[in-house]
Structure formats: C-alpha cells, structure tokens
C-alpha cells in the first residue's frame, strides 16, 4: 500500500485516515481496540482524533477518544507504526488558540495519548481573537521541543488559511501543512476557494465526513431510515432530490464494479486534487474493511464523470 506525502510536512500517510470520533461514543474500548488492530493489520497507519471527542455525549467530559487511543498504544506497543493526528481549540476545557492554551492542551493530549509526541497537531477551528503570529509561534515552540512534528488547520476559510501561510513564511514560523475541511460527494463548497489554494501552496487535505455522516453509504434514503440513529439529525439534511439521484448513480457504478456505494465515495474523494487521505470512521470490522477497499479502488474517468 503506497503512502502519500502530507503537504510539505515530511509525514507520509496511508490514503485513508481513521476517524477517532467514534471511540468512546459508538465504539467502546474493546471495539475500538479491534478497529485499531484491524487498521494496522491492513497496512494503514493514519488516525485522527481531537481533545473534544466525545464531549457531546451525555455524561462524557471530553478526552475519551484520545484516552482510548492512548490505552491501545500502551497495550499494543504500536506508537512507531502509526501517525497520530489530534486537534485543539473546540473543547470547553481548552478553548481557543492562545499560546497558553496551546501549550496546556498539548500537555493534556500527550498525557491521554500516553505518548511523547503528536505527529500532526491541528487547530480544530479558527480563533480570530488571537493573532495568528501568536498561535504559530506557540506551535513552533512545541515543534522545537519535539512534542509536535507538524501542524494543520481545520475549518478555516481560504482567506484565513492563506494569511496564516503568508505569516509563517514572512516570520519564519511553522506553517499549516494540512487542512481538514468538510468535503465529500455532496458537500463541495471546498472546491470553490480552498481547493485551489491547497493545490497551489501544497497543503495536504484530509477531509472529514467523507461519507457525509453515513448518507453516502446508501443506507439512508428516507426519514424512516433515520429513526433511532445517532446521526439522524445530521444525515436528514442530505435527503434532497438531487442527492438521492446521486445515490442512484452511485448504485449503478457500485453494482458494475461489485463494490458498495461507500467504497465508491471513498475512492472518488481520495483522488480529488489536493486530497491526501479521506477521514472516515467505522464501528465494526466489516465497515472498516469496506473503507479500506474504497481507499484501494481507482475509478475510471467515465465513472468520475458520472458521479460528478
């Protein structure tokens, strides 16, 4: 399995990133260990999480996903086999991108992850109340201390990402070598301004919601299909005539190939300009194997045109 460079960071990663948002939420520790074992056994190595996961779950404080990954790293002795990406700024316990918070949040994440370093440390969202020079300088100190290898941004506008890149170049500060945006076959605003910027400036893209919260698996085609589902409210917004027509086209391509719609969605996204590795999560080994097959599938130009 061929790895890909993540922007200009020097990190090389597998063409699929496992989304750790499910750890401690819809996957307990035992299931999470099995999923992580399956990922590594298949030759994949890229894992994304955040300090805020899974603070939205009643009774959870946040930090659960990182803690489960940390327990797994300690139990399996696999730290040198994986690339760990985590994020800060959105958790109420460590909000924003001030220098003091970045240092504090990093120390907390390192402790939960039971590791000495974070491969990719990402700003989970922009913080306009803090000068970007301050944020990048704080990251620079963590990199110099060996606690972080590279940094990335998530949910930034094109203007703010470009400004951060310009500041980094002018001031000799570390740059955001990756961007984690919302991007998939139905959410395509990324293509307007962010994609050209990332291509031009060699910023590697690791899009989240690669399967549109499960919509692109084809399982949800009516309101009735969403009853009792954890992401029902999120998926419901995709139930439009245009998107359902897209599912029908995906069905046709998938049937001709003998694969699933989810695998088609992953394959399409993986080969978009600037994309390095789609982020997708799974709660069963069967789902994980499907994601891996999608990451190894190459669509023809005709198939891509049909989907577009």
Instruction: For 38-89, write each residue's pLDDT tens digit.
Output: 999 999 999 999 999 999 999 999 999 999 999 999 999 999 999 999 999 9
Q: What is the pLDDT of residue 141?
A: 98
Tokens of 114: 């039971």
pLDDT range class, residue 229, cuts 50, 70, 90:
low
Residue 59 has what DSSP assignment? T
Q: What does the pLDDT average to over 204-220?
A: 94
Query: Looking at the chain, which runs of residues are DSSP E strands?
Result: 4-5, 12-13, 17-19, 46-48, 83-88, 90-91, 94-95, 118-123, 148-154, 176-180, 204-205, 279-280
pLDDT above 60: residue 192: yes
Indicate whether 1 pLDDT > 80.
no
pLDDT of residue 79: 97
| Residue in 53, 176, 208, 220 annotated catalytic | 53
pLDDT at position 233 is 66
Residue 98 has pLDDT above 70, yes or no: yes
Look up the CATH number of domain 4-213+264-301. Answer: 3.20.20.100
User: Mean of the pLDDT values across residues 218-235?
Assistant: 75
Share above pLDDT 90 across residues of the chain, in percent, rounded to a whole number: 93
**Whether residue 227 has pLDDT greater than 90:** no
State the Cα–Cα distance between residues 100 and 105, nearest whole angstrom: 9
- Is 53 a catalytic site residue? yes
Q: Which of 72, 115, 112 is nearest to 94 (CA)?
A: 112
What is the per-residue pLDDT for 231?
Answer: 59
**87 beta partners:** 122
Q: Take residue 161 and report the two structure tokens written for it.
A: 């990402």
For the chain, the structural domain boundaries read 4-213+264-301
**Averaged over 239-244, what is the pLDDT?**
94
Of 75-84, 118-127, 176-185, 213-222, the one with minimum mean pLDDT is 213-222
For the chain, helix, strand, coil in percent to 5 are: 45, 15, 35
Task: State yes or no: cis peptide before 127, omega within 30 of 0.
Answer: no
Q: What backbone phi and psi angles, to 5 degrees, belong to 62?
A: 110, 160
Cα separation, 289 vs 294, whole angstroms: 9
What number is the average pLDDT over the span 101-125? Answer: 98
Percentage of the residues of the chain whose pLDDT score is greater than 70: 98
Q: How far apart are CA 267 and CA 270, in angstroms?
A: 5
- In this model, does residue 196 exceed pLDDT 80? yes
> What is the average pLDDT across 232-254?
91
What pLDDT sits at residue 265? 98
Residue 232 has pLDDT above 60, yes or no: no
Residue 228, pLDDT above cutoff 70: no
């Amino acid at each position: 399995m061929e790895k890909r460079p993540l922007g200009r960071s020097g990190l090389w990663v597998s063409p699929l990133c496992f989304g750790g948002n499910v750890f401690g939420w819809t996957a307990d520790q035992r299931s999470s260990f099995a999923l992580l074992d399956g990922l590594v056994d298949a030759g994949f190595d890229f894992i994304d999480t955040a300090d805020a996961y899974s603070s939205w779950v009643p009774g959870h404080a946040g930090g659960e996903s990182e803690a489960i990954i940390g327990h797994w790293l300690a139990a399996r002795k696999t730290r040198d086999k994986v690339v760990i990406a985590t994020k800060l700024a959105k958790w109420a316990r460590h909000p924003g991108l001030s220098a003091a918070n970045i240092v504090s949040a990093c120390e907390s994440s390192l402790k939960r992850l039971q590791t000495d370093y974070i491969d990719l440390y990402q700003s989970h969202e922009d913080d306009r109340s803090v000068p970007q020079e301050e944020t990048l300088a704080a990251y620079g100190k963590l990199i110099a201390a060996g606690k972080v290898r590279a940094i990335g941004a998530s949910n930034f506008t094109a203007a703010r990402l470009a400004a951060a890149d310009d500041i980094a170049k002018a001031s000799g500060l570390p740059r955001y070598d990756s961007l984690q945006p919302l991007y998939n076959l139905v959410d395509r605003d990324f293509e307007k301004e962010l994609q050209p910027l990332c291509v031009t400036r060699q910023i590697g893209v690791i899009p989240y919601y690669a399967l549109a919260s499960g919509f692109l698996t084809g399982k949800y085609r009516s309101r009735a299909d969403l009853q009792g589902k954890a992401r029902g409210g999120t998926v419901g917004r995709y139930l439009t005539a245009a998107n359902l027509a897209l599912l029908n086209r995906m069905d046709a391509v998938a049937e001709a190939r003998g694969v699933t719609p989810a695998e088609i969605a992953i394959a399409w996204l993986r080969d978009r300009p600037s994309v390095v590795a789609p982020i997708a999560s799974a709660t069963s080994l069967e789902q994980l194997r499907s994601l891996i097959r999608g990451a190894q599938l190459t669509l023809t130009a005709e198939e891509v045109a049909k989907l577009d």
